[in-house]
Structure 1
Amino acid sequence: MTKEQINLGAVQETLLIPLYYRSLEAKSEHPRIDAHYDVDLINKIDYDFSKYNGKMSIEGCIVRSIILDREVNKYLNDHPDCVVLNFGCGLCTRTKRIDIKNSTWYNIDLPDAIELRNKLVDKQDNCYNIGKSMLDETWANDVKVKPGQDVLVIVEGVFMYLTEEEIRTFINIIKKNYRKVFALFEINHTIFANNTKFHDSVKKTNATFKWGIKHGKDLENITSGVKYFEEWNYFDLYENQGMLFNVFSKIGYVKNLSYKIASYEITSE
């Protein structure tokens, strides 16, 4: 079988990191997510994944999947006919792991990432791929939302590579096109902004962290129309990181440095 060569931009290349780590989880003795599909994808790609061996990142990618799978499931149970906008989708395989009900999914990412996704990920009913930047407001022209239909926005593994102004632009695009959405965003701490060298996996790429906030609620200060609900800290689900890690994770300041998934409501003005 001829494997797919990888030719991605610096940030887009990072989509391979969570894919690889999910595939490792699938091969573990007691996998916490059903990631067998990710193993199949890895086997189709010609790439040196061995450079990615960060223990914290492996755990972080799995915990992120656990939290988002759970929260997306909750939303779909309450809004089974919703539209899901999955930004920076890369090779996300969430729709292969969960029951998407009667929802319609739009996977949105830069053109080279979507080109790779189209080659590797099997087509699925009610799931569509859009090859545009999340900052290009014309992506909304490719999305069909019925009057009164609920909208869920997911952004994982993306905001840290954007500037605050770019995140403001994105949120304003959402506000311009939708009266109200429920959003799940991955949030990283300000300490990591411009400190990519401290990340055990992303430092092995040419991508750069640009943004962070200390608390999920701080996103309300970026632009109007953003209402914070709650957040889920990765530290709460980390496993097998050692006794010292477990001790430090109980310290509030240290724990707050962890990545989080935060939920929001974004409303038009």
Structure 2
Amino acid sequence: MAHQTSPGQPEAKVKINLTGTAETLMGPLIARARDARMPQPVLGDMFAAQILDQLDYDIEKHQIDDPKATMHAARVVCLDKWTTEFLANNPECTVVYLACGLDSRLQRLQPDMSRVRWVDVDFLDVVQLRSSLIPTPEGDYSLIGSDVTEDGWLEQIPADRPTLVICQGLLMYLEEEPVKHLIQRLINHFKSGQILVDCVSTVMLSLQHQVETLNATGSTFKWGVDDPKTLESLHPQLRMVECLGAAELGGFSQMPLSTRLMMSTYSYLPWFRYLSSYSRFNF
């Protein structure tokens, strides 16, 4: 990790000064770190644990217990798997990770950076924090500080290769029109590739007062979709490849029986199957 101290000196913690939507990156980081320290982790992201150890932050306010950490880790495993498949099918490609936060996906997957162009994008204050905690990877790597709904940042990225766009933990925080505009801009710019998205449903919008990370940061979900396939209507090139509800992700064998039964029941109820969803689209 990037933060250094003098030999024999206690390591100084990095104070987190993020607020609002930017601060929500702490919830996933805490979940990945907690999963990594379990006897049988689902993801096993020790990079997350190392990053969290560097921070001066009240992690308890997010109220992330083992089951919640496991559920989040299963989501990340799904998106990591899809990313790995895209890299295998497109050895020379571009990966654009929007709202990257303090995620260590590049470090987990370790693609061949002599052939892969990897671009992480997030708010400027998040990028500054990330730079202080995570060493800059070797190879064709860029870290862009920008609100993804603003113009300008996208033109910095060449459109000369098949491109994977990862939108994890992003779209639900945007209004509907900015979501449409963003997806249309991405496809028009990159021409061909895949988009990975996670979404919440309109039911989840009404239940968001129960989401601890939102309560901890004062943030809100603003956009939900009940049938992720309807996203195909946002652009004529967009075609769904796969969509999974939370209960379909797998990796939950060590969760309490009551939680597993609840998730299994939800998978058969139309309104709850896609309470949260994980989809990949070709374009």
| TM-score w.r.t. length of structure 2 | 0.87
> Which of these residues, 10, 26, 33, is aligned with residue 16 of structure 1?
26
1:82 partner amino acid: C
User: How much has 1:238 moved relative to structure 2?
Assistant: 5.3
Letter in 2 for 1:260: S
How far apart are the structure 1 equivalents of 2:70 and 2:256? 9
User: Contact (CA 8 Å) 2:15, 2:57: kept in 1 or not?
Assistant: yes
Residue 195 of structure 1 deviates from its aligned partner by 4.1
Q: Which amino acid aligns with 1:97?
A: R
Change beyond 3 A, Cα 1:177–1:222: closer
Gaps of 5+ in 2: 1-10
Deviations 1:105-160 (A, max 9, x none): 100011111111111111112221000111122112321343xx111000000111
Aligned match of 2:124: 111
On the 8 A contact 2:174/2:221 being kept in 1, the answer is yes
Please state whether the residue corresponding to 2:195 is helix, strand or coil. strand
Of residues 252-261 and 28-37 in structure 1, the stretch that sits farther from structure 2 once superposed is 252-261
Residues 1:142 and 2:142 are matched in the alignment: no
Aligned residue in 2 for 1:158: 170
1:193 to 205, 230, 237: 205
Q: Which residue of 2 aligns with 1:45?
A: 55
**Contact 2:203–2:271, Cα closer than 8 Å, also in 1:** no
- Counterpart check, 1:265 vs 2:276: no
Amino acid at match of 1:76: L
Q: Given the superposition, is the C-alpha separation of residues 263 and 247 from structure 1 closer, same or farther in structure 2, using an over 3 Å criterion?
A: closer
- Partner SS state of residue 74, structure 1: helix
Question: How many angstroms apart in 1 are the aligned matches of 2:264 and 2:167?
Answer: 30
* One-letter code aligned to 2:188: K
Which residue of the other structure, out of 75, 81, 103, is the alignment partner of 1:70?
81
Identity percentage of aligned residues: 23
Deviations along 1:180-218, whole A, 9 cap, x unmatched?
231111121111225420213322221100111112101
Q: For the structure 1 residues 250 and 213, does the alpha-carbon distance in structure 2 shift closer, same or farther, using more than 3 Å as the test? A: closer
CA distance in 1, matches of 2:37, 2:151: 40
| Residue in 2 that maps onto 1:36 | 46
**Conserved in 1, the CA contact under 8 Å of 2:242 and 2:280?**
yes
Deviation at 1:65, TM superposition (A): 0.8
* Alpha-carbon distance in structure 2 between the residues aligned to 1:72 and 1:193: 28
Give the counterpart letter for 1:155 in structure 2.
C
Q: Which residue of 2 aligns with 1:87?
A: 98
Q: In structure 2, the residue corresponding to 1:262 is in which secondary structure?
A: strand
CA distance in 1, matches of 2:232, 2:263: 31
Give the structure-1-normalised TM-score: 0.91
Equivalent residue in structure 1 for 2:257, among 217, 223, 242: 242
Which of 120, 123, 137 aligns to 2:133? It is 120
- State the number of aligned residues: 264
Quick one: which amino acid aligns to residue 84 of structure 1? V
Q: Distance in 1 between matches of 2:221 and 2:106?
A: 27
CA contact (8 A) 2:99 2:123 kept: yes
- Give the whole-Å Cα distance in 1 for the aligned partners of 2:106 and 2:267: 34
